[in-house]
Structure 1
Amino acid sequence: MEKVDDSTVRLNLFSPQIAVAEHLFHYPMFILDPKDNGAFGPSANGTGPFEMVEYTVGKGAKYKARADYWGGAAHLDTFEFVDLGDNPGAGIAAMASKQVDGLSEADAVQINSMKAFPHVSVHKVETTQTIVMRMHPDVEQFKDKRVRQAMRHALDRDKIIQTVLLGAGTLAEDHHVAPSHPEYAALPKWPRDVEKAKKLMADAGHADGFEVDLVTRPDPIWELNTTQAMAEQLKDIGIKANIKSLPSAQYWEVWTSAPFSLTAWGHRPLAIMTLGLAYRSNAAWNESHFSNAEFDKLLTQAEGILDPKERSKVMEKIELIMQDEGPIVQPFWRIFSTVMDKKVQGFELHPSQYIFAKDYAVASA
């Protein structure tokens, strides 16, 4: 990373990378002023339209508009985040009593409870949010790719979407590339095929199945419900998954080391971003320990192709490798939803769940 002048930085890369802007916009790219020595809080020097004035872990944060923001003045003088805890009923109660003006996220059950409130608007957006049941291919039960294939064929994705998400999802294809990604290459959908899955298990030497611990976390509740639904369907091919639900803080301590677990992945606008983080050999967030030289080569190639149609030709090869050898079973893509008081103006739900408070206003009663 090279400083050219006071307003210019040059990135000297090992290979072409078309997603620089998207990487810089994504939530893991959190930038702090070096003068703050890594400190985060009300005294931190930021570049946004609001200044943090209060921050308490487990309670919330308060902000006030900056008069010197380079992008123009915000409509709001202040806004506040309030931590309502993990109980979904707390969000419903807060919206019913008008204690808050909106929720950062609402699941399908909450939406059904609040959509009849006369002062509430429901907002939905298709995302690349998902959850993957991933396994370490170097673990005895999962070494043979036919076991991994059998687990993919054991899923009834439609049923999971209807029971867990109440329909608020679209089918996934076990390669972590979504139809909404510009480089997506459409592959044939496969229905649940228990007999084919059983044969694959038998051919891999597991005709009688096996028992294995499956690590997950209890909240948000749709993650645990998905884990339970998938584990129930795996029973039909002889796999008994013992669900080990860990508190979130404890889960994130072991998420890359647990041999078999379910992990939710957030929205990313380009598939190459997720694939590079999660499946490239030795990548920082390669929780599945997947390593495939041909996959790595194709991914590096795709990362340098600007035209999405041309990139999709390489992506098709990547998707096929993931379906054939990959370490994941992926049931769906989430349709993200939330609620907002109708008096809030200018709100648009972003698939990354970003809050663009500068664009919001609150109408007077």
Structure 2
Amino acid sequence: MNSPMLPRGMSRRGLLKSGIAMTTASLILPAGMAMAQSEPKKGGVFRVGIGHGSSTDSYDPGLWDNLYAQTYAAARHNQLIEIGADGNLAPEIAESWTSADGMTWVFKIREGVTFHSGKTLTPDDVVASLNHHRGDASTSAAKPYFDAVTDIKVDGPNVVITINAPNADFPYLMSDYHLAIMPGTDGKIDVTSADGCGGYMVDSYEAGIQATLNRNPNYWKSDRAHFDQIVLLTILDPAARLNALMTGEVDTIDQVDPATIGLLESRGVAKILSISGNAHYVFPMDSRAAPFNDNNVRLALKYSFDRQELVDKILAGHGSVSNDNPIGPASRYYYAEMEAKTYDPDKAKFHLKEAGMDTLEVTISAANAAFSGAVDAAVLMSEKAAAAGIKITVDREPDDGYWDNVWMKKPFVASYWGGRPVEDQMFTTAYQTGASWNETFWSNEKFDGLLVAARSELDEAKRREMYQEMQRIVSFEGSTIIPMYNNYVMALSNAIATPEKVSNNWNLDGFRCVERWWFA
């Protein structure tokens, strides 16, 4: 990965040495809420400092895998359906969608939408865009969504998608950020092209450094895309990001280190948004590799650290304890009553003995590129695990190249998930056997069967039972340590205005700060 872009007129050394030169007032908000703001107006250059980005970032929508790529994509593209700030589905390129049986879904495609190149968007473009994520040759992270799809075709102004079993949540899958609608030629999209139908058009881009985009004058959403220009900067170091905001070099930053919030109280030049949702920090273990291929070893590790300590010290209270459950409290079928794992060295020792071990030595590979405080979290886990006879060596990896060289390459790492709006989407993306982003390579036949069955279960009580059983399986048999749900913590210049509700389904207003926010 290339070096992060530094604020104008400041060297890397100056930026890192200057630290937090100013302070700000903080405001902690309930899920999805923001401050009441003035009416939107057009104009200005919006600069965002983002703690992700890689020199290997691609225009291929199936490969978008970090917050920078997702925000850059949200500026350029639309999906069939949008997740609104209230968490509900909203029409985007699909004006409407219907299904009589949960298996045949008819999406009416919006007329009058043009791509940045001037080409008129047609249903054929939608089919080409969706088919990019289908088939054995597809490398898309969204490919599992289409495993059940038997046909996608054009029917007049509509696109008709047929799946092999009823699924009431199928429209939610069509909102996934990978499923950008792009121009099609002979049934295929160009994965090297920046052409989209979103609110901004690319002026310049250097992967892993910065992107500059100008407002699309022909954008069909007249009430969105308020900035004249947006500049997206990769600033991997948390202190450098914060200082860039404090010195006025950027207008918004993501992933504010919660430990610094206490310092941000008197100057009043910026505001903090801390919004709870289903996001969670994780430590995946490669289930194919010894000793993590033994579930007793995995359970020993899960009982060997203090989850509340991580919430208190890493999140500074901006989050909550997770029971190794990727389904968060904001979800419909969240299993709040599941038996909680607490710090229990004796239980950890019991599971080690069940694995035929008296002691255990493992290495966690971590970097703050995974999440702010990831290295410190791994150290805290290591300190507590010693009482159970577990020695955890923390290998601090470089932030640059972490997602290319460490994640899904080394057997025990730090990672993060933004959560998903529905259980099926989260489980299909990260836990189904063979999924591209199944970062532990875990496989469980019972889990896979329940995942398929729950999609078409119409009895609400039975469906809830199925999804809660899947949560239990992942928690007690899965290969991912999930210690905490993290709030999305962002810092905004006082010059930036937001809608009354800010999305809690992803950071930066569901990636759409570039489209939904404006200068006050």
* 1:38 and 2:167 matched: no
Once the two structures are superposed, residues 36-93 of structure 1 have per-residue CA deviations (whole angstroms, 9 ceiling, x without a partner) of 72224xxx32121222223233442223322322222546341322425223232332
How big is the shift at 1:212?
2.1
Task: Indicate which of 85, 102, 106 corresponds to 2:252.
Answer: 102
Give the stretch that moved more between structures: 290-299 or 119-128.
119-128
User: Could you tell me which amino acid in structure 1 is paired with residue 417 of structure 2?
Assistant: W
Task: Indicate which of 237, 262, 267 corresponds to 2:419.
Answer: 267
User: Could you tell me which amino acid in structure 2 is paired with residue 262 of structure 1?
Assistant: A
Equivalent residue number for residue 173 of structure 1 = 323
Equivalent residue number for residue 152 of structure 1 = 302
Equivalent residue number for residue 132 of structure 1 = 282
User: Could you tell me which amino acid in structure 2 is paired with residue 78 of structure 1?
Assistant: D
* 1:242 and 2:393 matched: yes
How big is the shift at 1:157?
0.6
Give the stretch that moved more between structures: 276-285 or 353-362.
353-362
- Checking the alignment, whether the CA contact within 8 Å between 1:115 and 1:121 is kept in structure 2 is no
Give the stretch that moved more between structures: 345-354 or 188-197.
345-354
* 1:13 and 2:166 matched: no
Equivalent residue number for residue 90 of structure 2 = none
Counterpart-to-counterpart distance in 2, 1:97 and 1:307? 55
Counterpart-to-counterpart distance in 2, 1:97 and 1:136? 42
SS at match of 2:174: helix
SS at match of 1:330: strand
Task: Indicate which of 309, 313, 318 corresponds to 2:470.
Answer: 318
Counterpart-to-counterpart distance in 1, 2:175 and 2:231? 21
* TM-score for both structures, normalised by structure 2: 0.63
1:1-365 equivalences in 2 (<5 Å)? 1-5=151-155, 7-35=157-185, 37-40=190-193, 44-74=194-224, 76-83=226-233, 85-186=235-336, 187-207=338-358, 209-219=359-369, 220-247=371-398, 248-305=400-457, 310-347=462-499, 348-351=501-504, 352-353=506-507, 354-363=511-520
CA spacing shift, 1:13–1:328, aligned 2, 3 Å: same
SS at match of 1:9: strand
- Checking the alignment, whether the CA contact within 8 Å between 1:107 and 1:338 is kept in structure 2 is no
* TM-score for both structures, normalised by structure 1: 0.88
Counterpart-to-counterpart distance in 1, 2:192 and 2:335? 43
User: Could you tell me which amino acid in structure 2 is paired with residue 101 of structure 1?
Assistant: D
How big is the shift at 1:254?
4.8
Counterpart-to-counterpart distance in 2, 1:45 and 1:96? 34
Counterpart-to-counterpart distance in 2, 1:149 and 1:158? 18
Equivalent residue number for residue 92 of structure 2 = none
After the TM superposition, list the runs of 4 or more consecutive aligned residues in structure 1 that deviate by more than 4 angstroms: 305-310
Counterpart-to-counterpart distance in 1, 2:168 and 2:397? 37
- Checking the alignment, whether the CA contact within 8 Å between 2:259 and 2:314 is kept in structure 1 is no
How big is the shift at 1:128?
1.8
How big is the shift at 1:308?
6.3
SS at match of 1:232: helix
Once the two structures are superposed, residues 218-251 of structure 1 have per-residue CA deviations (whole angstroms, 9 ceiling, x without a partner) of 4243222222222222222122222233335254
CA spacing shift, 1:94–1:303, aligned 2, 3 Å: same
User: Could you tell me which amino acid in structure 2 is paired with residue 355 of structure 1?
Assistant: R
Once the two structures are superposed, residues 281-309 of structure 1 have per-residue CA deviations (whole angstroms, 9 ceiling, x without a partner) of 22222221211111100111223346765
CA spacing shift, 1:308–1:243, aligned 2, 3 Å: farther
SS at match of 1:214: strand
State the identity %: 23
Equivalent residue number for residue 95 of structure 2 = none
Counterpart-to-counterpart distance in 2, 1:115 and 1:309? 47
Counterpart-to-counterpart distance in 2, 1:210 and 1:75? 53
CA spacing shift, 1:235–1:300, aligned 2, 3 Å: same
- Checking the alignment, whether the CA contact within 8 Å between 2:211 and 2:231 is kept in structure 1 is yes
Q: How many residues align?
A: 359
- Checking the alignment, whether the CA contact within 8 Å between 1:185 and 1:313 is kept in structure 2 is no
- Checking the alignment, whether the CA contact within 8 Å between 1:92 and 1:113 is kept in structure 2 is no
CA spacing shift, 1:274–1:6, aligned 2, 3 Å: same
Once the two structures are superposed, residues 136-173 of structure 1 have per-residue CA deviations (whole angstroms, 9 ceiling, x without a partner) of 33433234322222222222111111111111111111
SS at match of 2:235: coil
CA spacing shift, 1:306–1:96, aligned 2, 3 Å: farther
CA spacing shift, 1:133–1:76, aligned 2, 3 Å: closer
- Checking the alignment, whether the CA contact within 8 Å between 1:60 and 1:80 is kept in structure 2 is no
Counterpart-to-counterpart distance in 1, 2:259 and 2:409? 32
How big is the shift at 1:279?
1.6
CA spacing shift, 1:69–1:156, aligned 2, 3 Å: same
Counterpart-to-counterpart distance in 2, 1:165 and 1:341? 22
User: Could you tell me which amino acid in structure 2 is paired with residue 38 of structure 1?
Assistant: V
- Checking the alignment, whether the CA contact within 8 Å between 1:146 and 1:200 is kept in structure 2 is yes
SS at match of 2:401: helix
